[in-house]
Structure 1
């Protein structure tokens, strides 16, 4: 696996004996179980021969200040295994986040532990919204950090002076790592396994997990492109509703009602913040998704129209031509996108 060109090498600790990779997990309240499981399963499969799951080549443990189990966002609880102690016994401390409004967040003891780890030059990692916890402590100041497109606006609202990376699956910047969550956690884990245990171990782990190949950190995040950036909280919530209903766009009246405001008030907020009405914003979001699908997939224009809420291929072609000055097929060919297939 290749490392992004603008990233400096990670510090490597000298290990007198195995394991060669030592990781401590810190689970935030209401953390995302899938991100945690994806990451730890890569470690598990790389640590032993076959699928024996013995922590031979690498070791991992779930840390806690009080040894109480931690509840994930789906309700499943994970038992903790060790108290915080000395952070230098680990090569990486990984904070797994989840729901933005998951409660009180990390405890004062956990925050102090992260500060000690940073002072000792232990590599800190934020998975999913775990990077929020690090940023709140000032531990991401001066670093690039990866945030899911889904939480891009939430991050900007809380950290106005930071510019998160939301078009990559993970970011490695010196002694800080971050990833967008979900399956990207498996690819970040494979990156570390490759670095410490070798490429064969990383590929083996991903293959057993039915993941075709390791992805570099600069691979674009799957999902929605970031077409509009809003500061108004009401506008941000409306944009999120539009993004979450691409295939069947909600009427503007319905969005306003769901947000507890009138249509005219919503339109005033959009015009003040973005300079366009909500209906135009909806079209721009869906066109951005259509462009992404044209560039990254071989899906037909008909299917893309269905997935982005246009009436049919003709409707998408007409709106696309008005905006881009050309048809979707020609746009795709000019940008060297996926091979164009004939419409059914």
Structure 2
């Protein structure tokens, strides 16, 4: 089937959907509310299934060129003692593809460059997604965790849920010899070397709803993690206020469907998940390719979208549930030896691919 499609949201999932739909013969317009592509951003792990999706979109080799192979690492206690080892090499042995680490701006730039300039419109917010159905055959909601397209389909019946943690993240000019996470009591700190003497970092703390925001994020991070082992302290010493992003971690109440008539949701608009498995961007890419495949030869668009829903809803909701469970495990405050044993068992089969 060919027709006119509009994608609301020009992030990773939206740009990927635009590329996939164009390859399937559709005329595509991608509407992005921001004035342009971001110039800064943290690193993303691209797992084998997501890399296959990028290959299907014709940009896999360019992403590999811009990326670096993600090295293995460890999960440690605050004193530096090892709880478990993360064997990312096992993924390559099993799937024939390593985990690639690429910055969000690099991935977005690669996807956007593969679209014709006229297909991507910046500074184009959408207030009434329903009105787009008058001009387009297909409306794709790829507009993130606070999706207006999702709200137009489901209203407020499936709200965002506070996951019980607050997170900080950023990139610093400090070298980290090894990646991985450090798990304390109700808090964790993660490090990923990104090359060039820089380190991608993130931290999270278990906090109740309604907690007050700290007056100084850098001071708060140093208070919370300043006595942890040296790799964490080196990152903390390199922090500047401008380089710290803070947000509450939320995920989405599972939806009963990702589609309604001629409207389809993908990525965070459909299944916003906590970041604990590193799968949010990856699943958005896979969604985009699956959507394009389902509508490529369809003669009945609503039926094709229902096929997309059957293909993607259950797998993504299982991953979202797994991410929420992993987040709760990492934020445990009691029975830490049991937590550590459960973690070792979970990693015995290798990280999720």
Q: TM-score range by the shorter chain?
A: under 0.3
Larger RCO: Structure 1 or Structure 2 (Cα < 8 Å, ≥ 6 residues apart)? Answer: 2
Q: TM-score, normalised by structure 1?
A: 0.25
Q: Which has the higher Rg, Structure 1 or Structure 2? A: 1
